[in-house]
Amino acid sequence: MRTMKRITTPAYLLAAALVVGAGAPAASAATHPQAKHHAQRHAIPFTAAEVTAGADGSYTVEWKAPGAHRVKVVADGRVVARGGASGKVTVRGLPAADRQWFDLVPDRGGSLRLADRLVKLEGSVNFRDAGGYRTADGHWVKMGEVYRSDALDKLTAGDLAKLRRLHIRTVFDLRMESERTAAPDRLPVGAKGVVADVLAGSPTFTTMPTTADGAAKMMTDGEKFMVSGATAKAAYTKVIDGVADASPTHAVVFHCTAGKDRTGWSNAALLTALGVPRPTVMSDYLASNDYRAAANAAALASMPAAQAAVYKPLLDVRAEYLNSGFDEVAAKYGSFGTYLKDGVGVDSRELARIKGELLVG
């Protein structure tokens, strides 16, 4: 059992190293890339849409489309359900697939392609689509283009084959050198690994806290470093440039050890840049608590109660953590747009290019 004394291993690695095994609950998802000419001609009427995969192989599909009268749900080339401007249906009996997609086809406006957000892998519990969200101005972030994940060192041969079929071609590793050495990535054939070390210059994660309050402060301080730390800015610049430069047929992954903090800010920044509302960004961030619930519970159960109380804030994601990052943006840059420009080098031209690649509707 690890002690609560001063250590040399960073807290992020310690927390993640204690997390073992376990699957993740089903998650919701939304849009996949639509044909560009179709999306340009027809605004997407859906204001909400999601797919949830059930443990029994069924799928629940929900939507709201105020501008439509009728909606068809299409899977594997056939209509599997119908509904009105809003609906909730359960679909059963579909064949197994890497990801089961559903086309929501309204009688007015453009369609959406939906899938459960979680990509089920044997060696990862938090590998999920980074997109599938509606922006404040009515666009949708494409799915199947950008993924976020926890560590990839335990991926099986079957996992790697699945990721290859999902066209994963670039993997950004946000971890520190000690983490990469202890648990090197396993990448699908044809994928390129890129180091984007967020915390290389941070002194925050060199000493384990001794109280729960100290642990929570470590996490909020770490979030601030992710915004204004020199190595963090360089790492996220590399990630966003990689997303901007990705081929339409190649998908990108960014990940850390638990897939919740460094990865969480990466996706929060990307979604915010694309115009996704803050409550939605927060929901995506907090979803790691659900995906990692079983693994985190097992880790805490293996410790004495006093130690578990200190470790729990390190394993959690909390609104206060992400909010401290946005607070740091306001304090150091004044606005998120200035953070994009001066912090991670995204000017208006590059932002327009990213939106053009990742938004539909």
Q: What residues contact residue 138 under an 8 Å CB cut-off, 6+ apart?
A: 43, 44, 361
- Round to the nearest angstrom and report the end-to-end CA distance of the chain: 53
Q: How many CB atoms lie within 10 A of CB 77?
A: 6
Neighbours of 69 (CB within 10 A): 10
Is 256 among the catalytic positions?
yes
Could you give the CA distance from residue 71 to residue 61 in angstroms, rounded to a whole number? 12
The catalytic position among 256, 270, 314, 358 is 256
Q: Per DSSP, what are the bridge partners of residue 171?
A: 193, 253
Buried b (16+ CB within 10 A) or exposed e, 99-137: bbbbbbbbeebbbbbbbbbbbbbebbbbbbbbbbbbbee
Phi, psi of 337 (to 5 degrees): -60, -40
Active-site annotation, residues: 256
